[in-house]
């Protein structure tokens, strides 16, 4: 007969605490390793294209398991592009969205971040507000609810998306602001990072980047400036914003 002494309760608790603490970093690494991000030049495709055709364009995409999500745009007229996102599973199309922005704004999709679960963000561009359905209907109450004044400079839009069907939960515009007249200036997202709570956005911003309170920074030298904004997950607030050569 093998004798197993009964441990006091406080020793059992200590053993479990040490074990869980030792395992926790491993779980964190595993969770973070599934996060994929892809930012690049927008490519054109339609919802009728096969995955082989879309994949051959070498545009931004994220793949987890047997599912791949692609982002880009469709040239709907000689002077107008509209964003597109499509999801394939085992080579079969699950869904494709054509309704994010259907105005005369020349919009594209050029970035994705996905954790393989329910966290999917898309990056889009806008060159101004036009009558009709665009991302403003998703941006009410978020950090920046619209393109702003002016038109022409290309800005970014961040959108939280349902990976099961492509629906947009909410979105925010991300723009620069001209210090002299307050009109909107260009900003292009170059990278996304997700830590499970916050979304870090790296971007090239032209004169001038916005502070966390959306006011323009004070900058020296020439733009574009290397900009970093840390958003909370629901895109209602920026916890911190910084840019090289700006304050």
Q: Which residues of 218-240 are buried (b: 16+ CB within 10 A; e: fewer)?
A: ebeeebbbbbbbbbeeebeebee
Q: Is the dihedral of CA 161, 162, 166, 168 positive or negative?
A: negative
The two structure tokens encoding residue 156: 């970014």
Residue 229 has pLDDT above 90, yes or no: yes
State yes or no: cis peptide before 224, omega within 30 of 0: yes
What is the reported pLDDT for 34? 85
What CA–CA distance (Å, rounded) separates 212 from 239? 6
pLDDT of residue 138: 98
What's the pLDDT tens digit per position in 118-145?
999 999 999 999 999 999 999 999 999 9
Question: pLDDT at position 180, please?
Answer: 87
User: What pTM did the predictor assign?
Assistant: 0.86
Q: In what order do the strands lie in the sheet with 80-89?
A: 61-64, 67-77, 80-89, 92-97
Q: What is the structure's pLDDT at 4?
A: 38
Question: Where are the chain's structural domains?
Answer: 37-243
Fold of the domain built from segment(s) 37-243: Lipocalin (2.40.128)
Indicate if the pLDDT at residue 30 is higher than 80. no
Pair of tokens at residue 234: 């629901």
Mean pLDDT of 231-235: 98
List, for residues 75-126, the tens digit of each pLDDT value: 999 999 999 999 999 999 999 999 999 999 999 999 999 999 999 999 999 9
Q: Is the dihedral of CA 59, 84, 161, 150 positive or negative?
A: positive
**How many Å separate Cα 117 from the centre of its chain?**
15
Here the tokens at position 104 are: 């005369």
pLDDT at residue 15, rounded to an integer: 33
> Does residue 9 have a pLDDT over 70?
no
Q: What whole-number distance in Å separates Cα of residue 157 and Cα of residue 177? A: 15
C-alpha 180/C-alpha 116 separation (Å) is: 43
More confident residue, 46 or 4: 46
C-alpha–C-alpha distance, residues 192 and 104, integer Å? 28
Q: How many CB atoms lie within 10 A of CB 136?
A: 18
pLDDT of the residue at 14: 34
The pLDDT tens digits for 168-226 are 999 999 999 998 899 999 999 999 999 999 999 999 999 999 999 999 999 999 999 99
pLDDT value at 16 more than 80:
no
């Amino acid at each position: 007969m093998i004798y197993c002494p009964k441990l006091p309760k406080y020793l059992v608790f200590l053993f479990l605490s040490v074990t869980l603490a030792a395992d926790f970093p491993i779980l964190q690494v595993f969770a973070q390793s599934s996060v994929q991000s892809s930012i690049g030049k927008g490519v054109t495709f339609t919802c009728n294209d096969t995955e082989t055709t879309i994949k051959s364009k070498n545009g931004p995409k994220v793949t987890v398991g047997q599912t791949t999500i692609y982002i880009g745009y469709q040239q709907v007229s000689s002077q107008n592009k509209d964003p597109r996102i499509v999801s394939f599973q085992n080579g079969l199309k699950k869904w494709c969205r054509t309704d994010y922005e259907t105005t005369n704004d020349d919009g594209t999709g050029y970035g994705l971040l996905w954790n393989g679960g329910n966290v999917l963000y898309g990056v889009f561009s806008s060159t101004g507000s036009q009558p009709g359905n665009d991302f403003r209907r998703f941006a009410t109450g978020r950090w920046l609810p619209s393109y702003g004044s002016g038109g022409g400079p290309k800005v970014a839009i961040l959108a939280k998306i349902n990976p099961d069907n492509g629906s947009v939960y909410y979105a925010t515009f991300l723009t620069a602001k001209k210090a002299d007249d307050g009109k909107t200036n260009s900003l292009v997202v170059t990278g996304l990072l997700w830590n499970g709570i916050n979304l870090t956005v790296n971007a090239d911003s032209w004169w001038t980047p916005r502070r966390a309170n959306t006011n323009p920074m004070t900058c020296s030298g020439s733009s574009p400036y290397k900009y970093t904004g840390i958003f909370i997950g629901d895109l209602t607030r920026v916890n911190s914003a910084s840019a090289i050569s700006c304050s």
